A = this chain, B = another copy of it.
Amino acid sequence: MGKVIWHGSTQLAPVPAVLVGTGGNGFANNLITVAWVGIVCSDPAMLSISVRPERFSYKALVETGEFTVNIPLASQAAVVDWCGVKSGRDVDKFAEQNLTAAVGSQIQAPLVMECPLNLECKVKEIIKLGSHDMFLAEIVAVQVSEDFLTKSGRLALERNGGILGYAHGHYFNLGKEVGHFGFSVRKKGKFKRPQKSAKA
C-alpha cells in the first residue's frame, strides 16, 4: 500500500468529455471539446466549463454568454476527439462531421442533435484562473433524445453502447453498473453492500 508522491496535476478521473456548442448572435456555429467541466450547484442547476482564452470558441462564449453542453455516446469518441484537435478557425465542425445543429429552446447556441443529452447554459460569471478561464453557468434547459427515454420516461443513457468517459487521455465507455445512490444502506438489493468494518 505504498504511495509515490507526484507534483500537483490534473489527475481527476473519470471526467466527462463533452462537445460545447457556441454560436448565434452573429457567431457561426462551432464546437469545442471540453473535459474541464463539472456540476457546481444543484439549485440553481449550474456547471462550470474551463476554456483557454486563445481558443477560437472563447470570444463567442464571452460575447454571447451562452453555450450548450452536448453529452456524447462512446460510439462518438472519434468525433469528440476530432472536435478537440481541430479549430473552428479552419473548419466548419458541424459540416465536416455531418452533425445537425438546432437552436436551443432558451438560447441561440447550437445543440448537437446526434448527442443523446444536451444542456442549454447561460454564463453567470467568468473567473480567470491561469491557463484557463472558468465560465460559471446556469443550466436553463435540458434536451433529451426520445430514443433514450423509456416508456416510463426514464433516461436510459446505457442504450446504444452508453455514454463516453475520459480518464488521463483515454476515452472509455461506461461499463457495468455497480450500485445506485443509497444502495449501501438498503436492507436488500442486487448490489454487494459493505460489511461492517469491511476492507474497501
Contact = CB atoms under 8 A, between A and B. Distances in A.
How many subunits of this chain does the assembly comprise? 2
Contacts of A102: 3
Nearest to A112: B200
Interface residues of A, number: 115
A115 to B, nearest CB: 8
A200 B114 contact: yes
Interface in A91-135: 95-100, 102, 105, 111-115, 117-120, 127, 129-132, 134
A39 B50 contact: yes
- The 3 A-B residue pairs with the shortest CB-CB distance, nearest first, are A38-B38, A175-B175, A41-B129
Interface of A: 1-16, 18, 35-48, 50, 69, 71-72, 74-79, 81-82, 84-86, 95-100, 102, 105, 111-115, 117-120, 127, 129-132, 134, 136, 138-147, 149, 155, 157, 162-165, 167-185, 191-194, 196-200
